[in-house]
Amino acid sequence: MGNSTSAGATSVARNSKGRVLCARKLLELTDGVVDRESLEALAGQSILNPRQFDRRCVVALSQFAALLETRNVEVEKPLDGKIAITAFFEASTRTRLSFESAVLRLDGKVLSVPDGQVTGIAKGESLADIGEMFNTYGDVVVMRHPDTDCLEEIRTNLQRPLINAGNGSGHHPTQALIDWFALLKWRPQLCLPDCPPDQRIHLGIIGTPGSMRAVKSFLRLALMFTGAVSKITIISEMADPVGLDLTEPIEESPIPIEYINDVQEALPELDVIYVNSIAFLGDSYKNLDNRYQLQRGSKLKPDAVIMHPLARNRELATDLDETDHNLYFAQAAGAVFARQALLIAVLDRLDRVSNLDGTI
Ligand code: CP
């Protein structure tokens, strides 16, 4: 544990508490070579749903993010001349600010809408018309909105790549990338289709993926990591916690999945616990039941790690922050690099980053 700066990226602070992850270990798995082909396929793409990714792409983006974390790429100004519009019609701490930090650190520029009420929405303007305006204002749009249908509406006229930063109870694909970036740094062997048996993880998810977009997107990617995720246990008070969106991918995945509602029964078996609190219920939020609170005294495996997309409430006690179970602060700290990797690929600026083909 500790607070230090990485070897390459000179000005980026690391998490102050909990595990500090080593990006270099992830790069060493492929001798520093990043899968450029997978990244090139993202050029000009909108990122709306985690089903757009496959395992190879998640690993490629994570390795590229690890490279950005270990090298001082800022001096190459890869987003010079690009403008990102961050349009947030719903509250955010991490997503908007880490996207903006990602762009600004790479010499791009940002047009920030921190609150939809400062746009014409307050006067009844449609998202479709706002999308038309964005075509001439920026090169990529990052949008969060409380309505699941918002992506289709803004894309009526928007011709720029759109990155979904959370659409109601829909998805949060870039959060899922950040989550897997953290997991792959923590245990790089999870990248391997033939992950050694003693490195495979039993993953526990506390919450209702069907109504928690970050959990849903994380689970969607987890289902791709066959041979690395040995089992998934979903701990929820709901009878059907996963919802329609994931029914088919779950049925098709060879990973065994169990559903239980007793968190105490599940905890001692889990290597990774992903917890979230806030569920979207149409026009309101619901917090997790008090029974599901994790704290220092919880019966965790000694080396188990806890992930959380944050913001947290009572479900994750602060007395865990100083422990090695805390992966959630390192998870959040990787966001700038993961989002930089995605933006460079989507904005077709890979050629501005030298030496993607090795040497770490
Ligand atoms: N993880 C996440 O989406 O956090 P924010 O709501 O602060 O953006």
Class of residue 35 by CB neighbours under 10 A (exposed 0-12, middle 13-18, buried 19+): middle
Distance 312 CA to ligand 1 centre (A): 10
Which residue's C-alpha comes closest to atom 6 of ligand 1?
A: 92
Distance 95 CA to ligand 1 centre (A): 5
Distance 358 CA to ligand 1 centre (A): 33
Q: Which two tokens stand for residue 43?
A: 């050029």
What pLDDT does residue 282 have?
62
Which residue's C-alpha comes closest to atom 4 of ligand 1?
A: 94
- 285 - beta bridge partners? 280
* Closest-lying ligand 1 atom to the alpha carbon of residue 332: 1
* Closest-lying ligand 1 atom to the alpha carbon of residue 178: 1
Query: Which residues are CB-neighbours of 180 under 8 A, at least 6 positions away?
Result: 58, 62, 218, 221
* Closest-lying ligand 1 atom to the alpha carbon of residue 310: 1
pLDDT, tens digit, 9 for 90 and up, residues 124-143: 999 999 999 999 999 999 99
Taken in order of first residue, the domains within the chain and their CATH numbers are 23-172+334-350 (3.40.50.1370), 178-332 (3.40.50.1370)
Which residue's C-alpha comes closest to atom 1 of ligand 1?
A: 309
Q: Which two tokens stand for residue 257?
A: 């999945």
pLDDT, tens digit, 9 for 90 and up, residues 269-305: 999 999 998 666 666 666 767 778 899 999 999 999 9
**Ligand 1 pocket by C-beta < 6 Å: which residues?**
92-95, 166, 172, 175, 214, 309-311
Q: Is 168 helix (H, G, I), strand (E, B) or coil?
A: coil
Which among 3, 4, 1, 8 is positioned nearest to 340, based on CA atoms? 8
* Closest-lying ligand 1 atom to the alpha carbon of residue 98: 8
* Closest-lying ligand 1 atom to the alpha carbon of residue 165: 3
Separation CA 234–CA 211 (nearest Å) = 14
What number of other Cβ atoms are within 10 A of residue 240's Cβ? 11
The residue written with tokens 């989550």 in the block is: 179
One-letter amino acid for residue 135 of the chain: N
Using 70 as the pLDDT threshold, list the residues of the chain that sit under it. 1-13, 278-286, 288, 358-360
Which among 84, 144, 141, 73 is positioned nearest to 110, based on CA atoms? 84
Separation CA 148–CA 28 (nearest Å) = 39
Helices (H) and strands (E) in the chain, counts: 12, 11
Percent of the chain past pLDDT 90, that is, above it, reads 83
Distance 91 CA to ligand 1 centre (A): 8
